[in-house]
Amino acid sequence: MAAQPAGAPSLPTLGGKKRSYRERVADALRAALIAGELLPGEVYSAPTLAARFGVSATPVREAMLDLAKEGLVDTVPNKGFRVTAVSEKQLDEYTHIRALIEIPTVVELAGTADPVSLEALRPAAREIVQAAAAGDLIAYVEADTRFHLGLLALAGNSHLVEVVGDLRGRSRLYGLTALVKAGRLLASAEEHLELLDALLDRDESAVREVMTRHLGHVRGLWAAK
């Protein structure tokens, strides 16, 4: 991997398994899309993105082709890739489906999840807080994805994790930058630690309240342009 320029986001590693270089580049690009750092309708060339992420153009081009298969970008011949727009209706639908799946699943974990497995998610929760404090939106989204999908994985349903992962990838959190400027992202980040504590206390009512509040931010505030 080429040396990253100053200020370039580090490439993330999702989950416990080692991911390929191409997958790691795709993860970083996907996080940038979700965070709204790559804007809908804009066309980005592979060399431009490669310079931004401190990597060579070839893995970026390959990763963007993967994202095109997911419907996150469209290829523009001889120019690069255009970020697909997400409508307000689509954001509403994605968040509604996530709430239907995630809230009851996580509430159930309050009675079934192994405390050791829950504690294993605390480093990711702390990374979310650290990224929020630093205003690093790409790191924030990557750690947030790792935390939530890791938590859902404790339910033992891989298809559920796959569905939520796809919905998260299609969402956009355009309001993250505004939250950073207003100094409000840190409070939202700390909800992950609050959620873990409620799960470890086996407090289903508290878990439901935190999850409902947390997902409400996704649509009610973070997705606002």
Question: Does 95 lie in the same domain as 79?
Answer: no
Residue 49: inside a domain: yes
For residues 38-46, average pLDDT? 91
Residue 164 confidence (pLDDT) = 95
Is residue 7's pLDDT more than 70?
Answer: no
Among 17-21, 39-43, 158-162, the minimum mean pLDDT is found in 17-21
One domain, residues 98 and 176: yes
125 contacts: CB under 8 Å, gap ≥ 6: 147, 192, 193, 195, 196
Asked whether residue 173 falls in the same domain as residue 92, the answer is yes
Which of the four pLDDT bands, split at 50, 70 and 90, describes residue 220? low
How much is the mean pLDDT over the chain? Answer: 86
In a domain, 225, yes or no: no
58 with 143, same domain?
no
Q: What pTM, to 2 d.p., does this model score? A: 0.80
Q: Which of 65, 86, 50 is nearest to 224 (CA)?
A: 86
Residue 12 sits at the vertex; the CA angle it makes with 79 and 7, to the nearest 5 degrees, is 70
Mind listing the pLDDT tens digit for each residue in 60-78? Answer: 999 999 999 988 899 999 9
Q: Which residue has the higher pLDDT, 170 or 3?
A: 170
pLDDT, residue 27, reads 86
Of the residues 53, 83, 113, the one at which a domain ends: 83
**Structural domain contains residue 75:** yes
> Which positions ≥6 away from 110 have C-beta within 8 Å?
198, 199, 202, 203, 204, 207
Q: Which domain holds residue 105?
A: 88-218
**Structure confidence by residue, pLDDT tens digits, 105-114:** 999 999 999 9
Q: Is 2 part of a structural domain of the chain?
A: no
